[in-house]
Structures are given as C-alpha cells and as structure tokens.
C-alpha cells in the first residue's frame, strides 16, 4: 500500500483555482468571530472548526467534518444558554425542546432560523457513508457561526434589531415596487424596486443592507445570467421620504440618492422591460424564477457577510 502524504494538497482545490496554501487560507478559511457575551468555552471549541477547515486543504472531505463540528457547537451553545438562564433540565432533552424553551427570549424570525440550524445538526449527525457536500457549505459556515453568536445575545438586543428592520420596511414600503432612479458612483440607474433586508446591532449599528434591482435596459436576455446583477449595498445615515431616500454607502462613503420617477421616457423603458420579460418567458417559462432564486442566494450570502462583520 502506498504511504499517504498527509501534507500533500488535495488536488480538487486546483479545480477551484486555489494556487497555494496561502491562497486557500485567504479565500476559504473562515475565522471565528464572536461578540463579548459568547462564553470562552464556545470560542475555544470553535477553534477546532478552524483547524478542520484549514486541514481540508490537504483532505477535501474535512470541510464536511468541520461543518459537522460547527453544528455540534450550535447545539452546545443552546444547552449553555439554558444553563446561563438557569433553565437547564437534568437528563436528556431533545434539541427541538431546548430551542422551544428559548423561544421566549428571541424573535419569531430568529427562532425559525434556529430550527433550520437544528435540521442541519440532525442531518450531519445521521449521514450516509460517503456523503460529501464540500465547498457548497462555505456560506453555511458563516450563517451557522452567526446563529451561534445570536444565541448569546440579550433578548432586548434581538427584539431591538427586529424592530429596527420592521420600521425600515414600513418606511420604505412605497419603494419596494416603484420605478426609481438610483444615483450611485456618478451613474443614474433605473431600477424597479428597493428593499432593506438586514440591520446591524454591534459593529454595524445604525447600518442596513439594501437590495436594488435594475431593469434590463437594452441588454439581450437569452439566459438567466444575462439579467443585470442586483445592487446590494450597506448603507448608513438613511433618510427616507415620500420621494425616495438619501444615504451614505458604508464602503465608499459616497452619498447615494434614490428618487421615484414618473418621467414618461422612464415609464416607457419600464414597460419595454416588462414586455421583454414576457416574451422571454414564452421561450423559457422558468427564467424569472431562476433569476429570483439566484437573487435570493446572493442576498442570503450578503446578509451572512453583513452579520459576520457585526460581531
């Protein structure tokens, strides 16, 4: 039997254009980030996840083992939170029961996310031989780490975050399906919807994540990747009024302006956009659903990044 070289990089990383160990560390190693209320035992436990992720450079399936460990840390966090609240019960208690008893200290939306994390925990505890998800778990790592952090937030912080997002959604309801002009980076972009998807609470306090969807314009659309990409921006100093909004792009510090338009030329462009989409759907009935699915995936990733930066 040929002796295993345990420090030989797994060849599969070449497929993902990873050129070296440093390149892998830069592109794929997710460092644990935690807020001040997360217990030291959880922080130390997560270092095992980081090690397993790092060693996947030499053995690709270790990605799945790293994620499995992160799901166990999620369950351990739930148990520890109950202990902190003096609600822990003696003997075995199913994870679902533990989460249900924590529901009163979180929001309904966050509780639903915890239930999804529980499903991941169960799935990775009872896997079939040879099962491998690999690199597609990368965004799930960040999402699960965010949920571990969320368990140790004060209930008032959780509810305040939910309230901030709810208020933004109410204030911007008239922008969600309107025809608007976005002035961004010296450009004027015609879009047909703007909506906030997340608000910050710690490092991202007073910041929010917004999605803007441009119309197709004159671009030829034959497949889903031909749709113009959505703009997802992290904003601060958001001021909303009946005509639109004004804010600062957190990354560039540039002021952006969003204005409702009823200009006849812009309305005609939007009508042409709708007509073209209808014509495309006659040929490819599912293309709009594919686009919305792609948009949802991109938005989910950006939300995970936004929350990760918050810790």
DSSP characters over 101-160? HHGGGS-HHHHHHHHHHHHHHHHHHSPPTT---GGGGHHHHHHHHHHHHHHTS-HHHHHH
The DSSP letter of residue 262 is -
Q: If you search the block for the tokens 């949920």, which residue do you land on?
A: 147
Q: What confidence score (pLDDT) does residue 207 get?
A: 95
Give me the helix-helix angle, 62-84 and 108-125, nearest 10°: 130
Contact between residue 269 and residue 217 where contact means Cβ atoms under 8 Å apart: yes
Among 216, 189, 209, smallest CA distance to 277 is for 216
By CB atoms closer than 10 A (0-12, 13-18, 19+), residue 7 is exposed
Contact between residue 273 and residue 215 where contact means Cβ atoms under 8 Å apart: yes
For Cα atoms 186, 294, 54, give the angle at the middle one, nearest 5 degrees.
95
- Residues 6 or more apart whose Cβ sits within 8 Å of residue 276: 216, 221
Q: In degrees to the nearest 10, what's the CA dihedral of 8, 139, 119, 160? A: 140
- Residues 6 or more apart whose Cβ sits within 8 Å of residue 200: 161, 206, 207, 208, 306, 310
Residue 24: HSE in the Cβ half-sphere, 13 Å Cα cutoff? 21
Q: What confidence score (pLDDT) does residue 86 get?
A: 92
- Residues 6 or more apart whose Cβ sits within 8 Å of residue 211: 193, 194, 195, 197, 230, 231, 232, 295, 299
Contact between residue 42 and residue 69 where contact means Cβ atoms under 8 Å apart: no
Report field, pTM of the whole predicted structure over 0.75: yes
DSSP notation for 194-235: EEEEEE-SSTTTTEEEEEEEE--TT---SSGGGSPPPEEEEE
Q: If you search the block for the tokens 């202990």, which residue do you land on?
A: 83
Report CA torsion sign: 252, 255, 258, 264: negative
Contact between residue 228 and residue 190 where contact means Cβ atoms under 8 Å apart: no
The list of the chain residues with pLDDT below 70 reads: 1
Helix, strand, coil content of the chain in percent (nearest 5): 55, 15, 30
Q: What confidence score (pLDDT) does residue 52 get?
A: 97
Among 191, 202, 267, smallest CA distance to 233 is for 191
Q: What confidence score (pLDDT) does residue 1 get?
A: 65
Element (H, E) at 237: strand 231-241
- Residues 6 or more apart whose Cβ sits within 8 Å of residue 141: 30, 49, 53, 66, 67, 70
């Amino acid at each position: 039997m040929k002796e295993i070289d345990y420090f030989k990089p797994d060849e599969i990383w070449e497929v993902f254009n990873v050129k070296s160990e440093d390149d892998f560390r830069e592109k794929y190693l997710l460092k644990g980030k935690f807020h001040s209320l997360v217990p030291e035992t959880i922080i130390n436990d997560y270092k095992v996840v980081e090690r397993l992720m790092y060693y996947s450079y030499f053995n690709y399936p270790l990605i799945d083992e790293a994620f499995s460990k992160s799901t166990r840390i999620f369950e351990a966090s739930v148990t520890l939170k109950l202990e902190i609240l003096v609600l822990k019960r003696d003997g075995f208690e199913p994870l679902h029961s533990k989460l249900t008893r924590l529901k009163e200290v979180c929001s309904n939306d966050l509780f639903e996310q915890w239930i999804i994390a529980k499903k991941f925990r169960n799935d990775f505890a009872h896997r079939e031989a040879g099962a491998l998800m690999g690199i597609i778990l990368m965004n799930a790592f960040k999402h699960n780490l965010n949920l571990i952090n969320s368990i140790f937030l004060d209930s008032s912080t959780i509810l305040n975050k939910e309230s901030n997002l709810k208020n933004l959604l109410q204030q911007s309801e008239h922008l969600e399906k309107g025809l608007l002009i976005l002035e961004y980076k010296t450009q004027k972009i015609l879009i047909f919807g703007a909506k906030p998807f997340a608000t910050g609470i710690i490092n991202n306090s007073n910041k929010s994540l917004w999605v803007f969807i441009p119309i197709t314009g004159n671009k030829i659309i034959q497949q889903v990747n031909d749709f113009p990409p959505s703009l997802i921006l992290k904003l601060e100093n958001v001021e909303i009024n009946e005509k639109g909004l004004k804010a600062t792009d957190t990354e560039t510090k540039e002021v952006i302006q969003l204005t409702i338009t009823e200009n006849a030329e812009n309305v005609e462009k939007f009508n042409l956009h709708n007509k073209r989409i209808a014509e495309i759907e006659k040929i490819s009935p599912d293309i709009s659903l594919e686009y919305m699915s792609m948009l949802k995936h991109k938005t989910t990733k950006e939300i995970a990044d936004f929350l990760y930066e918050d810790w």
